[in-house]
Amino acid sequence: MILLRHGQSEFNLHYGATGIDPDIPDAPLTPLGREQAEAAAAALAGEDIRLILCSPYTRALQTSAPVARRLGLPVIVTAAVRERRAASCDIGSCRTDLSRAWPDLDFGAIEEVWWSHDIEPHDAFEARAALFRLEQERHPDWAHTLVVCHWGFIQALTGQGLPNGQWVRVAGPV
């Protein structure tokens, strides 16, 4: 399985410069973030990806678009790989709004409000990530699955944080 961190978002840009939460819910990609998404698409073109899973946050959807386009694959939206609710950018857009903005994607597998209203406890977040991994390890396309997700989710699965637009391969089940 490959985990791809979304490209730079407006939140990442402003928070990185100030260290203060800029109050940007469901932050979209910056121009640099869009470049990072295109670069990731080019880099991942030779990785024999057969399945793309993606978080419902706009920044992840925008990152997955060039990869899906290049590979000719659909994007499967799943809230299981969303970020831990801890900052303003972790407030998402409702399913209805996402469906309007992304009419070619199927949002039927997510709730209307799919993000946590409160800060998600760290142990609950870790358990969600562990359950996702366990379920994916049983999937026959484990080695050919791309997951477009977030820093915290990647950290929970691998123990490492990745810069925006970077990806890491996760060792398969033993």
**pLDDT 10s digits, 123-132:** 999 999 999 9
CATH number of the CATH domain containing 20: 3.40.50.1240
In a domain, 174, yes or no: no
In a domain, 48, yes or no: yes
Give me the pLDDT at residue 88, please.
95
Give me the pLDDT at residue 49, please.
97
Angle formed by the axes of helices 31-44 and 58-71, nearest 10°? 40
In a domain, 71, yes or no: yes
In a domain, 141, yes or no: yes
Cα separation, 156 vs 122, in Å, equals: 10
Q: Could you report the per-residue pLDDT of 44-74, keeping only the tens digit for each? A: 999 999 999 999 999 999 999 999 999 999 9
Q: Could you report the per-residue pLDDT of 28-50, keeping only the tens digit for each? A: 999 999 999 999 999 999 999 99
Task: Return the structure tokens found at 135.
Answer: 């379920």
Q: Is 157 exposed, middle or buried (0-12, 13-18, 19+ CB in 10 A)?
A: buried
Q: 46 is in which domain, residue-wise?
A: 2-169
In a domain, 118, yes or no: yes
| Local confidence band at 81 (pLDDT 50, 70, 90 cut-offs) | very high
Number of domains in the chain: 1
Residues 123-153: b if buried by 16+ CB within 10 A, e if exposed? eebbebbeebbeebeeeeeebebbbbbbbbb
Please list, in sequence order, all residues whose beta carbon lies within 8 angstroms of the beta carbon of residue 156, skipping any fewer than 6 positions away.
84, 125, 126, 129, 130
